[in-house]
Amino acid sequence: MARQTRVVLNCVGPYRFFGEPVVQACVENGASCIDISGEPQFLEGMYLKYNEKAAEKGVYVVGSCGFDSIPADMGVLYTRDKLKGTLTAVESFLSVKSGPEGLGVHDGTWKSAVYGLADEDNLKKLRKQIGYAPVPVVGAKLKKRGFVFYSPEFKEYCITFMGSDGSVVKRTQRYLHSELQQTPVQYGAYVTLGGLGSVIKLMFMGMLFLLLVKFNFGRKLLTKYPRFFSGGYFSKEGPTQKQMDGTSFTMTFFGEGYSEGQDPQTGKPNVKICTEVKGPEPGYIATPIAMVQAALSLLEDAASLPKKGGVYSPGAAFSKTKLIDRLNKRGVEFSVISKPEV
């Protein structure tokens, strides 16, 4: 398959079990490869094993090109490009709204989360092995928020986003800083939850999840009964058409930085900007849109890709392409909410 094509769309999650043979076949046979993984261990493991081979072959392996993590990664770059000055820090807040039928997610995503959390220690070892260079902090240091906090902007409780967005954005910023000498942007990812009731429900489910995920029998229970342990969100059937039609997402970015002529190394940030990325149901409508447009960018914007092949995050691969324009035309829309005020 890989020998006969230029780009393969790799949809075989959980990627930790099925992803690598596809990447290997693509790299060995000279095809580029795009996936929609939200599993940092798989994404960074592929970087460790195949980055040099992909560079030799001149092919691009671009991970996390679905809802994880194109809105976040490209959203940070969009925010940076719209700020007149130097962007140094961004926080994103994801809100998913559903209709009367509620939300539904397939249990493949649930399994990825179960095995990903169970194997967290190996992710730390992998990162040691890769030996990432630290990303320097430019400008005022972005304050880390508590795991749960109240947001006056949204009038809702929020939690830290547990997905791969944070690690993907960091890889992009590291690449842009080390390879293209661009100012790295600090990033924090959060999700809006709603009222106190939602927080209590999530805390209870989360504690049970974290307890069970540590043991083999617990993981078996979690993967066998996803609907029960996720409070009805995850199921083996996935969402109904009505659920998908009634669901949408908004990711809001609050950026701060320094106006043109201001040195980011001195003083406090003096410009702010607010942008958003919004789109249809994330998992099954926005994800394929993002994935297919990323593939088209790979084929049609070839002159704007990094000069050599390799294993890349979306922002590293597509920062100079027309990907954001393509997404805007397809219903995943990037816009500025409020222009920077000094």
For the stretch 106-131, pLDDT in tens is 998 999 999 998 888 999 999 999 99
DSSP 136: P
pLDDT in tens, 310-335: 999 999 999 999 999 999 999 999 99
| 67-86 residue pLDDT tens | 999 999 999 999 999 999 99
Q: Domain range holding 229?
A: 2-341
CA distance 251 to 234: 22
**How many CB atoms neighbour CB 51 within 10 A?**
17
Return the number of other C-beta atoms located less than 10 Å from residue 259's C-beta. 14
Q: Which residues of 1-25 are buried (b: 16+ CB within 10 A; e: fewer)?
A: ebeeeebbbbbebbbbeebbebbbb
**Which residues, at least 6 apart from 325, have a Cβ–Cβ distance to it below 8 Å?**
none
**What pLDDT was estimated at residue 299?**
97
Mean pLDDT of the chain: 95
- CB atoms under 10 Å from CB of 210, counted, come to 11
3-state secondary structure of 290: helix
Band of residue 342 on the pLDDT scale cut at 50, 70, 90: very low
Does residue 268 have a pLDDT over 90? yes
Q: Which two tokens stand for residue 121?
A: 């220690």
Report in angstroms the alpha-carbon separations of 149 from 2, 143, 204: 47, 13, 16
Dump pLDDT digits (tens) for 273-284. 999 999 999 999
Q: Give how many domains the chain has, as a whole number.
A: 1
What does the pLDDT read at residue 341?
52
pLDDT at 340: 58
Which pLDDT belongs to residue 265? 87
Total-model pTM: 0.95
Structure tokens at 298: 């790979």
